[in-house]
Structure 1
Amino acid sequence: MIDIDFLIALVLILIMFGIGVSLTLSEVKEVFSKPKALLISLTSQMLLLPLIAFSICYFFDFPLYIKMGLIILAASPGGTTSGFITFLFKGNTALSIVLTTVNSLLTLISIPLIVNFALHHFYGTTDAFRLPVGETMKEIFVLTAIPAFSGIMLRQWKPAIAQVIAKYTKPVSTLLLGIVFTLKFFGGNGENGITKEEVLDIFPYALLLNVLCFLTGYIVSRIFKLGLNNQITVSVESAVHNTTIAFLVSGTLLQKPDFGKVSLVYAMFSFWTALLFCFLLTTRFRMNNSSK
Structure 2
Amino acid sequence: MDSALTSVALPAALAIIMFGLGLSLTSADFARVARHPKVVTIALACQLLILPAVAFGLVLMFDLPPLLAVGMMVLAASPGGTTANLFSHLYRGDVALNITLTAVNSVIAVVTLPIITNFALGYFDPAETGGTMGLQFTKVLQVFAIVLIPVAIGMAVRARREDFARRMDRPVRIASAVVLVAVIVGTIAAERENVPSYLADVGVIVTMFCLASLGLGYWVPKLLGVHRRQAIACSMEIGVHNSTLAIAIAISVLDSVDLAIPAAVYGVVMFPAAAAVGWLISRGARAETADALPVQDRTERASESG
Is this a same-fold pair by TM over 0.5? yes
Q: Judging changes above 3 Å, is the alpha-carbon distance between structure 1 residues 202 and 84 closer, same or farther for their aligned structure 2 residues? A: same
The aligned residue for residue 121 of structure 1 is 123
Alignment of 1:232-243 (within 5 A): 232-243=232-243
Secondary structure at the aligned position of 1:71 is classed as helix
| Runs of 5+ consecutive residues of structure 2 not aligned to the other structure | 294-306
Q: Judging changes above 3 Å, is the alpha-carbon distance between structure 1 residues 9 and 246 closer, same or farther for their aligned structure 2 residues? A: closer
Q: Distance in 2 between matches of 1:124 and 1:16?
A: 34
How big is each residue's C-alpha offset from its partner over 1:36-57, in whole Å with a ceiling of 9 and x where there is no partner? 1111111111111110011112
Q: Distance in 1 between matches of 2:238 and 2:136?
A: 23
1:184 pairs with 2:186:
no
Shift of 1:134: 5.3
Shift of 1:266: 0.8
% identical equivalent positions = 24
CA RMSD in angstroms comes to 3.5
Q: Judging changes above 3 Å, is the alpha-carbon distance between structure 1 residues 248 and 89 closer, same or farther for their aligned structure 2 residues? A: same
Shift of 1:60: 2.2
Q: Distance in 1 between matches of 2:81 and 2:199?
A: 23
Shift of 1:228: 1.6
Shift of 1:136: 3.6
The aligned residue for residue 49 of structure 2 is 47
How big is each residue's C-alpha offset from its partner over 1:103-156, in whole Å with a ceiling of 9 and x where there is no partner? 22222222222222222222288644247455444544465565478668877x
Q: Distance in 2 between matches of 1:25 and 1:110?
A: 22
In the superposition, the TM-score normalised over structure 2's length comes to 0.75
Q: Distance in 2 between matches of 1:104 and 1:27?
A: 13
Q: Distance in 2 between matches of 1:278 and 1:128?
A: 37
Shift of 1:100: 1.8
How big is each residue's C-alpha offset from its partner over 1:195-220, in whole Å with a ceiling of 9 and x where there is no partner? 22322321111111111111221121
1:89 pairs with 2:91:
yes
| Runs of 5+ consecutive residues of structure 1 not aligned to the other structure | none
Q: Distance in 2 between matches of 1:33 and 1:117?
A: 34
The aligned residue for residue 195 of structure 2 is 195
How big is each residue's C-alpha offset from its partner over 1:184-203, in whole Å with a ceiling of 9 and x where there is no partner? 34323223545223223211
* Paired positions, count: 281
Q: Distance in 1 between matches of 2:28 and 2:282?
A: 25
Alignment of 1:108-147 (within 5 A): 108-123=110-125, 127-130=133-136, 132=139, 135-141=142-148, 144=151, 147=154
How big is each residue's C-alpha offset from its partner over 1:215-255, in whole Å with a ceiling of 9 and x where there is no partner? 22112111211112211121112121122222233223333
The aligned residue for residue 36 of structure 2 is 34
Q: Tell me, yes or no, if the aligned pair for 1:16 and 1:84 is still in contact at 8 Å.
A: no
The aligned residue for residue 78 of structure 2 is 76
Q: Which of 215-224 and 102-111 deviates more?
A: 102-111
Q: Tell me, yes or no, if the aligned pair for 1:246 and 1:263 is still in contact at 8 Å.
A: yes
Q: Distance in 2 between matches of 1:232 and 1:173?
A: 24
Q: Tell me, yes or no, if the aligned pair for 2:134 and 2:254 is still in contact at 8 Å.
A: no
Q: Distance in 2 between matches of 1:79 and 1:117?
A: 23
Q: Tell me, yes or no, if the aligned pair for 1:101 and 1:145 is still in contact at 8 Å.
A: no
Shift of 1:260: 0.9
Q: Judging changes above 3 Å, is the alpha-carbon distance between structure 1 residues 17 and 73 closer, same or farther for their aligned structure 2 residues? A: closer
Secondary structure at the aligned position of 1:195 is classed as helix
Q: Tell me, yes or no, if the aligned pair for 2:157 and 2:165 is still in contact at 8 Å.
A: no
The aligned residue for residue 67 of structure 1 is 69
In the superposition, the TM-score normalised over structure 1's length comes to 0.78
The aligned residue for residue 301 of structure 2 is none
Q: Distance in 1 between matches of 2:24 and 2:70?
A: 33
Q: Tell me, yes or no, if the aligned pair for 1:97 and 1:145 is still in contact at 8 Å.
A: no
1:247 pairs with 2:247:
yes
